[in-house]
């Protein structure tokens, strides 16, 4: 079985490296010319995943349609704001016997659709491949370093989910399956917003009590909106929900957590973005979460305060005060 990975950032590179280490012939599509030249020369992505050499089973390509056609399994690890464009370019090359797996955690900014919904929309005029989503607590560097990791493969087509599960599971990565695509995708996207809040809290020195409260109440917000969008309650207690949320809110490798830290130190959003090589999805997801919450009548006070800090210049300490002074209520 051949595998394709679309996206040469840290997660796409780490996952391609992992698949190659399993012995799967893997083709990695890299957009940036300087990054692919570096990979061809050194067999390493020193820009986004330094310190990890790619195994011989991994090859590199700048040909997006050709890479998409290469694999029976096609993993798409492109930031959410670029996904629709990437899907359009690879759609004509897809076949109905392929399984397309989204690794992206975010929403389409214009339509507020989940990534698998955008795939269905873009692919359907061309072909209808089988679709799945892969999510869960997974820092790229730890997957690249063969640290034990557990993930969930979600698909309405349980056969497709099991095919992906069997192909990627090993002694260092254990995959579970489920049918709740909506819950898995919403949880994976929204946890990044709460991670920004956690980074603010940690940088302000508010302590472990505050972090625990943010994670717990953040999970409530994620569950509320997730169920309003069709997710199942039990999904938010699993790997894609609380598992990914805890990791992203506490791990030093979390880009979204670092964004929160920078905000608490007085840096403006434009300044933070200009200093980042990799995308912190929570910045864009905050806007989507606010629009979705308002359209569905879902209360999300943490997400609202992160919006105010990111896009309205609110002082992070004032955001904390706003959360702590809300009307008292039952849990």
Portions of the chain given CATH number 3.40.50.720: 3-179
Residues involved in catalysis: 191
pLDDT of 70 reads 98
- pLDDT of 278 reads 77
CB proximity list for 31: less than 8 A, separation 6 or greater: 7, 8, 62
Give the whole-angstrom CA distance, residue 257 versus residue 89: 32
Helices (H) and strands (E) in the chain, counts: 15, 8
Q: How many CB atoms lie within 10 A of CB 12?
A: 25
Q: Is the pLDDT of residue 280 over 90?
A: no
User: 16 near 29, Cβ under 8 Å?
Assistant: no
How does residue 277 score in pLDDT terms, banded at 50, 70 and 90? confident
Q: Kindly report, as residue ranges, where domains of CATH 1.10.1040.10 are found in the chain.
A: 188-324
Q: What is the rounded distance in angstroms from the CA atom of residue 308 to the CA atom of residue 286? A: 10
* Dist CA 97 CA 185 (whole Å): 23
pLDDT at residue 284 above 90?
yes
Question: How would residue 276 be classed by pLDDT, with cut points 50, 70 and 90?
Answer: confident
Q: Is 170 helix (H, G, I), strand (E, B) or coil?
A: coil
**C-alpha to C-alpha distances, 266 to 54, 98, 261, 292, nearest whole angstrom:** 39, 47, 9, 28
Spatial separation of the C-alpha atoms in residues 240 and 138, rounded to whole Å:
10
261: closest CA among 249, 270, 243?
Answer: 249
% of the chain beyond a pLDDT of 70:
100
Q: Are 101 and 134 in contact (CB under 8 A)?
A: yes
Supply the mean pLDDT for the chain. Answer: 96
pTM above the 0.75 mark? yes
Angle at 6 between CA 101 and CA 235, to 5 degrees: 30
- Say if CB 155 and CB 240 are below 8 A apart: no
For 3-179, CATH gives 3.40.50.720
CA dist list (Å): 166 to 44, 64, 175, 304: 27, 26, 8, 40
Please write the tens of the pLDDT for every residue from 148-166: 999 999 999 999 999 999 9
- Read off the pLDDT of residues 206-225 as tens digits, 9 standing for 90 and up: 999 999 999 999 999 999 99
Q: Please check the confidence at residue 35 and state whether its pLDDT lies above 80.
A: yes
63-77-67 Cα angle (round to 5): 20
Q: Indicate the pairing of strand 73-76 with strand 173-178.
A: unpaired
Contact 107, 114 (CB under 8 A): yes
The string of pLDDT tens digits covering residues 5-34 is: 999 999 999 999 999 999 999 999 999 999
How many other β-carbons are positioned within 10 Å of the β-carbon of residue 155?
A: 26
SS3 113: coil
CA distances from 128 to 7, 74, 150, 174 (A): 21, 14, 29, 28
% of the chain at pLDDT higher than 90: 96
| One CATH from 1.25.40.10, 3.40.50.10300, 1.10.1660.10, 1.10.1040.10 for 188-324 | 1.10.1040.10
Per the model's pLDDT, the better-predicted residue between 218 and 279 turns out to be: 218
DSSP 8-state secondary structure symbol assigned to residue 174: E
């Amino acid at each position: 079985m051949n595998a394709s990975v679309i996206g040469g950032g840290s997660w796409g590179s780490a996952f391609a490296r992992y698949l190659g280490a399993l012995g799967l012939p893997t083709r990695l599509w890299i957009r940036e010319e300087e990054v692919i030249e570096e990979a061809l020369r050194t067999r390493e992505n020193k820009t986004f995943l330094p310190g990890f050499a790619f195994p011989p089973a991994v090859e590199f390509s700048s040909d997006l349609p050709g890479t998409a056609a290469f694999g029976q399994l096609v993993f798409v690890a492109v930031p959410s704001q670029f996904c629709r464009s990437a899907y359009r370019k690879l759609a004509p090359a897809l076949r109905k016997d392929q399984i397309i797996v989204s690794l992206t955690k975010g929403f389409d900014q214009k339509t507020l659709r989940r990534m698998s919904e955008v795939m269905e929309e873009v692919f359907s005029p061309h072909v209808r491949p089988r679709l799945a989503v892969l999510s869960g607590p997974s820092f790229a560097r730890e997957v690249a370093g063969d640290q034990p990791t557990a993930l969930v493969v979600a698909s309405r087509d349980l056969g497709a989910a099991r095919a992906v599960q069997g192909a990627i599971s090993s002694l260092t990565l254990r995959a579970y399956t489920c049918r709740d695509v909506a819950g898995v995708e919403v949880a994976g996207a929204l946890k990044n917003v709460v991670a920004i809040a956690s980074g603010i809290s940690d940088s302000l020195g508010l302590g472990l009590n505050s972090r625990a409260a943010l994670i717990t109440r953040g999970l409530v917000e994620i569950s509320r909106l997730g169920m309003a969008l069709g997710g199942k309650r039990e999904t938010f207690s699993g790997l894609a929900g609380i598992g990914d949320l805890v990791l992203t809110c506490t791990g030093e490798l979390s880009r979204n957590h670092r964004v929160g830290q920078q905000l608490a130190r007085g840096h403006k959003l434009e300044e933070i973005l200009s200093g980042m090589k990799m995308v912190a999805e929570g910045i864009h997801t905050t806007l989507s979460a606010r629009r979705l919450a308002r359209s569905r009548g879902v209360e999300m006070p943490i997400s609202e305060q992160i919006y105010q800090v990111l896009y309205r210049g609110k002082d992070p300490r004032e955001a904390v005060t706003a959360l702590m002074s809300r009307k008292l209520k039952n849990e």
